[in-house]
Amino acid sequence: MTQPLDIAVVGATGSVGETLVQILEELAFPVATLHLLASMESAGSSVMFAGKTIKVREVDSFDFAQVKLAFFAASPAVSRSFANKAQQAGCTVIDLSGGLDDALAVVPEANADSIANLKLPARLASPGSAAVALAVALAPLKGLLDIERVQVMASLAVSAQGREAVNELARQTAELLNARPLEPRFFDRQVAFNLLAQVGAVDEQGHAGLERRLVSELRELLGQPELKISVTCIQVPVFFGDSFSVAVQSRKPVDLVAVNAALESADSVELVERDDYPTPVGDAVGQDVVYVGRVRHGVDDDQQLNLWLTTDNLRKGAALNAVQVAQLLIKHRL
């Protein structure tokens, strides 16, 4: 049997952190003591875990020597401030913020073997929700495709930007339905009933940080450092659930029967048959898999595979994947 672990969750009061705590309970993760950490702002509040009330404390004064494993689900800046300290105190870090460039990105379905020879305490990352979804859907297909290029259009839910963004979509929608004038707050303009073609600032070449991050994470996860990947991330007026339109160009004809069979038998994929299609609301949200639908060739192009993916950005896209990485570590001796 597994020895229960002392664990810390940094950012425990946020959307991802809260989901993470829920999932630790749902999966009966072997927790000895759970330390919940956040900023000064919510220190003192309490959270239920496994029937007990846990007080949230400030991360600044936490001694990471008390835990063997810490999830970082606050901001990238928080990860950069405390991850070194934690690791030096003997604690393995699983970062969800994207703030640690040198952390090993892991999606168990895609690159579980990457942790085989890891030196502990380690520095791991659960990649962005887009990279998780794509890795889960493409990993089972690697043997069937000779991938030349992947084209991704990511439609991100507002919850991908945290609690405040969720409140802002609700507020804007209510104002508009009541015909009241709109003053955007969290977003730089109206997001309700609109599409924002850019998420975050872009660099000299016009790519957003999120888009660059997806490219490098997906190359790492698929073990194809030179893979051509093009990405556009947009913000859509959806509360929960990220969706992805994906076109994979292969150097050989794509066998759709084999593709469907491989997706069908992948544990973390729920394949939706032709004539139906998965949506964030109603399918993905609250579920632990990546929904895959609209599996088809390109028009007049049997070397192209088109897919539509949708997944719960807070669960498989973030918290669930991070916990699954932790489960993998335990299997490997953490």
Report the interface residues with ligand NAP, using CB under 6 A.
Answer: 11-17, 38-39, 41-42, 59, 73-76, 78, 96-98, 128-129, 159-160, 162-163, 313-314, 317-318
Among candidate residues 171, 169, 148, 152, the one with its CA nearest the CA of residue 160? 169
Query: How far is residue 99 from each of residues 23, 135, 238, measured CA to CA in Å?
Result: 23, 20, 25
* CA pseudo-torsion sign 248, 250, 253, 258: negative
- Does residue 231 touch a copy of itself according to CB under 8 A? yes
- Does residue 270 touch a copy of itself according to CB under 8 A? no
What residues between 91 and 110 interact with a copy of itself by CB under 8 A?
none
Nearer to a copy of itself, 121 or 293 (CB): 293
What residues between 129 and 148 interact with a copy of itself by CB under 8 A?
none
- Does residue 194 touch a copy of itself according to CB under 8 A? yes
Q: How far apart are CA 154 and CA 299, in angstroms?
A: 21
CA 300 to chain centre: 34
> Is the bond preceding residue 121 a cis peptide, omega within 30 degrees?
yes
Q: Give the H or E element holding residue 99.
A: none
66 binds, among ligand NAP, a copy of itself, none (CB under 5 to 8 A by kind): none
Nearer to a copy of itself, 120 or 227 (CB): 227
Nearer to ligand NAP, 21 or 122 (CB): 21
Among candidate residues 304, 294, 324, the one with its CA nearest the CA of residue 27? 324
327 binds, among ligand NAP, a copy of itself, none (CB under 5 to 8 A by kind): none
* Shortest distance (Å) from residue 265 CB to a copy of itself: 20
- Does residue 330 touch a copy of itself according to CB under 8 A? no
Query: How far is residue 155 from each of residues 132, 142, 158, measured CA to CA in Å?
Result: 14, 24, 10
Among candidate residues 286, 242, 244, 292, the one with its CA nearest the CA of residue 267? 292
Which residues are at the interface with a copy of itself (CB under 8 A)? 151, 153, 155, 169-170, 173-174, 177, 189-190, 193-198, 201-202, 205-207, 211-212, 215, 228-232, 234, 236-239, 243, 245, 247, 274-275, 277-282, 293-301, 304, 306, 308, 310
